[in-house]
Structure 1
Amino acid sequence: MTQIFTPPETRIAIVTGGARGIGAAIATRLAEDGHDVAILDLDREQCADSIRAVEATGRRGMAVSADVSDEDAVRRAVAQVADTFGPPTVLVNNAGVLRDASLSKMTVRDWDFVLDVNLRSAFLMSREMEPHFRATRWGRVVNLSSIAALGVFGEANYAAAKAGVQGFTKSLAIELGRFGVTANVVAPGFVITEMTREVARRVNMSIEDMTKEMMVNNWVGRAGIPEDIANAVGFFADVRSAFVTGQVLYVAGGPRG
């Protein structure tokens, strides 16, 4: 017997790490697509521009201060969103950090911090959202990975976390599908954001030189922009993507994976 899962009349999305860059573009895209959007970030004051962009679409926006690698903080944040907007049913785990070093120079602290923010947070957020998914019998999870999941020098911690995100998401797709929930991954390639500009500064390169270096195996002839990633997230979050789950989409200007 075919199950029909009906989306809620008001779709409420949570985007982690949405204060700037890719997260901010995702929040705006989801708002344009008809979602009310809650942005979780360490400093809610830094989310002001993102919230203004959400509200400019006519949708509701709110910012919540939260360390999404902390179990209690995640519990409080999701409860605050539910109390204010109603049950959230779209989750975008976008929060991420880098702590680059070669293996011999990488500290346990560097390893743990990157795994906590990039992978542990996806687990904590997804687990906290599950009761809302079950009650509503509908939902979307979109987790941000990276081409780094395929391996990169000096980012063993980040590569491990982003590869872990992919396996975690495929497991979510299996566990949550019976509740009308899809779970998918968007894996960006080189995207020009403040984070990548900071990486360039750290290795004493201009962003222009870094972009040229990263264009190897990029067949569309340009670097990515946050909106490229937001568009892919929007596809997976759409009500019309109900038959797509457990997938990894590399948005990288060339074939990957």
Structure 2
Amino acid sequence: MKYPEITHLYKYRAFNIHSLSILINRKVWFANPNSFNDPFDCKIPYSHKLTPNEAVEYARRIGLTEDIIATILDTSGNIQDEFIQKWIEALNKSEEELKNIGVFTLSETNNNILLWAHYADAHRGFCIEFIRSRSNQLGDYNRTLRVQYKRDYPIINPTKKDVFELKYFTKSLDWAYEREWRLVNDQGNVEEPLSDIEMSSIIYGLEMPDSHKEIIKKVTRDIKEIKYRQAVIAENSFRLHIIDL
């Protein structure tokens, strides 16, 4: 398992009927990236530039026969116009299809003040702790990846193997404080069952009303070995501590 030191991932939520659905129905919402608060998120375009060598290497990688590959270049070694046109059409089609994906976002930290403020209703919400292991989707690095934060805008070469990571797991360095991970689904704007992903604890926000804590306890009492924890202000520090209850 890649990054074995990350054994838990966290989801910050406001207290509402939609967030309670995770706890009651054991389902999570895969949002379409169009709903995200970052206008660049998942929208970095493919580069249409293609060298002759890249065209041939890519054709071999996707399994085209040598007879077909031989037609890609003209007698001068340049890419045929017909292939370039088909290449651009294929990229545009791929871009359209991938607009439908769904993303379940998580963080590797549970005590970030800004995350509590932005995604958990100004500390009035809660945070769900999920177990990450070799035996579940969160530990499968083909499905759940760590977001990479970049200072420079990436160029996505669709002939390379890192296309998926660059397009859906790359954000501006401005967002690095989120320490985000993502589980990606083929379809967005859908609710999917957690299946093999276990919740290990619920963390109450600093300002969460006691009545909401009681509701959360009531709807999660059947979850095996679930723990309840509380965010508190650290003494003499701009930090939050998470304590067991």
TM-score, reference length from structure 2: 0.23
Q: TM-score, normalised by structure 1?
A: 0.22
Q: Which one has the largest radius of gyration?
A: 2
Of the two structures, which has the highest relative contact order with CA contacts closer than 8 Å and spacing of 6 or more? 2
